Amino acid sequence: MRAVEFGTDRTARVVDVAPPRPDAGEVTVRITSAGVCGSDVTALRGVHPFRVPPLITGHEGGGIVTAVGDGVDPSWRGRPVALEPQRACGRCAPCTTGLVHLCRDRLMLGMAGWPGTLAEQVTAPVSCLHPVDDAVPAALLALAEPLAVAEHAVAAGPAPRGARVAVLGGGPIGALLVHLAATGGAEHLLATDPRAASREACTRVGAHATADPTTDGWRDAVRGDGFDLVHVAATAPGILDDAVALLRPRGTVVVVGLFAGPVTFDVAALQQDEKSLVGSTVYTADDFAAAARGLGEHWRTLAGLVTDGGGLDGAVAFLRAALDGRSDDVVKLLVDPADGAR
């Protein structure tokens, strides 16, 4: 089968590899939808903390169950599923206290020990499968994973209903946060991003207002009486100061963007109005289940965020361009690994 391999020399290429077979408790999934994430670019650069080449990349994916291993209910065959791409160790302190998503020894799809979703097939434990409504196009199943990230971030802060909410960063996670705040009943919803295409995408999924954070005076122009909740979905310099400045007293910042290293910000501005700063990372199984349900309910809206990447070769071209710093108007790139297959 074909798959996207990252080499130790910072190269990405489509290779032929042996198709995987499910072990006991596992299934094989024919991938119909795989997402390209910023973490794939980080791994290709060789600076990701745990995605260390050589590896088959990709952790966002979904498809059709084609085979089951020993001990797995055969009724899974033929079902469309989204893949929760994490296996916890089950032994560490977070695992034994119910915080399995914080397991420091968890294995993720797209690591060297678990070949990823930018491939025609993957294997996964049955516990990683989340059924998705048959009405959802097979090409959109990978959206469940970033939607689960957004679900977890929403759960980490105060509820959006009736609140003034800002989302800083209009990439895939930011746009999905906008969608959840809109469907969650936010009274006023602001989205910021330097790219016009991202701001337009956020408007399509429910933002009431948008702003370009690279323009002078933008915070004063949009703040009004302050926001109850600010989601930080990007890692631009100064973005935490922006988030804190936008809050009303006792408002909350939820950080979901993955910073590559230490950052500094004005702690006094947080403290003097008793504002809160909350971290959010990945998702629980409940978040993923909610995302799978939400995809079934709102896929028509969310499809507007997606660009078809043209198969695995298209994914490689996109990754190479991103590695070279070339920008584009893509919000979320999804590919079907079977497109262009020999």
The CATH number covering residue 83 comes to: 3.90.180.10
pLDDT along the chain (342 residues), means of 10: 94 96 98 94 87 94 98 98 96 93 93 96 98 97 98 98 98 98 98 97 98 97 96 97 98 94 94 97 97 98 95 95 83 93 56
Residue 288, SS3 per DSSP: helix
Q: Is residue 174 part of a domain?
A: yes
Which pLDDT belongs to residue 220?
A: 95
Report the amino acid identity of residue 18.
Answer: A
117 and 238 part of one domain: no
Of 301, 276, 124, the C-alpha closest to 202 is 301
Residue 79 resides in a domain: yes
Question: Are 153 and 127 found together in one domain?
Answer: no
Report which secondary-structure segment, H or E, holds 30.
strand 26-35
Residue 290 located in a structural domain: no
Residue 269 lies in a domain: yes
Question: How many domains does the chain divide into?
Answer: 2
Q: Per residue in 294-333, is it b (16+ CB within 10 Å) or e — as a string?
A: bbeebbeebeebbbebebbbbbbebbbebbeeeeeebbbb
The domain in which residue 45 lies consists of 2-131+309-335
CA–CA distance, 20 with 18 (Å, rounded to integer): 6
**Burial of residue 108, with CB atoms counted within 10 A of its CB: 0-12 exposed, 13-18 middle, 19 or more buried:** middle
Q: What CA–CA distance (Å, rounded) separates 229 from 156?
A: 11
CA distances (Å), origin 254, targets 204, 230, 321: 23, 6, 30
Start-end of H helices in the chain:
38-45, 93-96, 144-156, 172-183, 196-204, 218-223, 239-246, 267-271, 285-302, 311-323
Q: What is the pLDDT of residue 341?
A: 63
Chain-centroid distance, C-alpha 288: 11
Residues 80 and 176 in one domain: no
pLDDT of residue 261: 85
**Does residue 248 fall inside a structural domain?**
yes
The predicted structure's pLDDT at residue 135 = 97
Q: What pTM does this model have?
A: 0.96
Residue 50 resides in a domain: yes
Measure the CA–CA gap between 58 and 277, rounded to whole angstroms.
30
The predicted structure's pLDDT at residue 46:
86
**What pLDDT sits at residue 315?**
96
CB within 8 A of 137, min separation 6: which ones? 299, 303
Token representation of residue 23: 């072990």
What tokens appear for 248 in the block?
């009303």
Residues 120 and 185 placed together within one structural domain of the fold: no
By C-alpha distance, which of 35, 36, 304 is closest to 178?
Answer: 304
Shared domain for 76 and 158, answered yes or no, is: no
Q: Which residues pair with 122 in a beta bridge?
A: 29
Do 214 and 112 share a structural domain? no
User: What pLDDT shows up at residue 48?
Assistant: 85
117 lies in the same domain as 157: no
